[in-house]
Structure 1
């Protein structure tokens, strides 16, 4: 007697997997922007590192690494703000020991972290439209926490502005086309965190989707 052939389980179409999350989602976390701005002020005189993909922007777009690939602690900072494909081990940068407010934010996120850095876009600078294919919200996600912003900042994702206020916490699907302009008079600084999409982050994103906008802080 012949058994019934086993059915192959088909993976969902890529478009369905991609659309598991919206292209932007404010997470139900909020941090004290005044504390973060206070620590940021102490960093202003440090040597910020220009973003290494110079074709993507005009003006000044730069970073200070806070979590870095393991093994780069004593290497040039440019190696600390970039990750080779396949990097899985990250550690706190030595500087983070002197930034208790930023330490609290990173620990308070409640999910495993990969890289983290402060990203600054100076007045008049522009990040051109581009996409980051690996930040699709499936394998990895990018989280933005505005530290300092101004009304002249325009972050556009899929042709629609995303308004992010200081102290808020946002997931953005940056495998889609996005761009950034700072038409204001002061630098825009975000804490930018990359994270693998594991159970803890997934649960936070599901919770965010279930809450009305006014209950997410």
Structure 2
């Protein structure tokens, strides 16, 4: 059994990622479709999603049964985030920018299919964050800093509070577990 959190030995350029987020200033963020899981405003810009989806909500849906995943037009306008994605030598499924506005919270919930053991994981790369943004997994804080990459076992109970006065933005990748990712997790866990 893998731990419920592992900080991968990857760090990304925060300023370049922020520049990419600013390139999308004219794009309307789409409210997260699972309304019962949050209070306030939690929204998405889809960067990869189901190949035939045309509406942003459908583009942002992480569907484990979908075999055809492609970049969205939003990703094609960015400079640095595509390079970040190319770092991952595992199949990329859904990729989204996810914003939790100041004063909002993601309620405690479970994503049953997101763990190494289930074969699909969610990786978080904070882009814009604050020390008053708190991510909890199994009632313990995950110290997510901007530019880091975290595997979190979200099949366990988790929630997020944004008690800051800024909007938190993460790059969120759903990926298929393969040998490369298992090596990355093992190396990070054991300090290799």
TM class, shorter-length: over 0.9
For residues 50 and 76 of structure 1, do their structure 2 counterparts lie closer, same or farther at Cα, with a shift above 3 Å needed? Answer: same
Instruction: Decide which of 109, 131, 149 is 2:129's aligned counterpart.
Output: 149
Q: How many residues align?
A: 191
1:205 is aligned to 185
For residues 141 and 84 of structure 1, do their structure 2 counterparts lie closer, same or farther at Cα, with a shift above 3 Å needed? Answer: closer
2:97 is aligned to 118
Greater percentage in strand: 2
State the TM-score, normalized to the length of structure 1.
0.85
Considering only CA atoms, is the larger Rg found in Structure 1 or Structure 2? 1
State the TM-score, normalized to the length of structure 2.
0.96
Verify the 8 A CA contact 2:39 2:105 in the aligned structure 1. yes
**Superposition RMSD in Å:** 1.2
Pairwise mapping of residues 82-97 of structure 1 onto structure 2 (< 5 A)? 82-97=61-76
Pairwise mapping of residues 40-189 of structure 1 onto structure 2 (< 5 A)? 40-72=21-53, 75-138=54-117, 139-189=119-169
| CA deviation string 1:51-99 (max 9, x = no partner) | 0000010100000000111111xx2111111134411221111121111
Structure 1 consecutive aligned stretches of length 4 or more whose deviation exceeds 6 Å? none
- Secondary structure at the counterpart of residue 132 of structure 1: coil
Following the alignment from structure 1 to structure 2, what is the Cα–Cα distance between the partners of residues 34 and 110? 23
2:176 is aligned to 196
For residues 194 and 63 of structure 1, do their structure 2 counterparts lie closer, same or farther at Cα, with a shift above 3 Å needed? Answer: same
Following the alignment from structure 2 to structure 1, what is the Cα–Cα distance between the partners of residues 189 and 63? 32
Deviation at 1:151, TM superposition (A): 1.1
Q: Which runs of 5+ in 1 are unaligned?
A: 1-18, 213-217
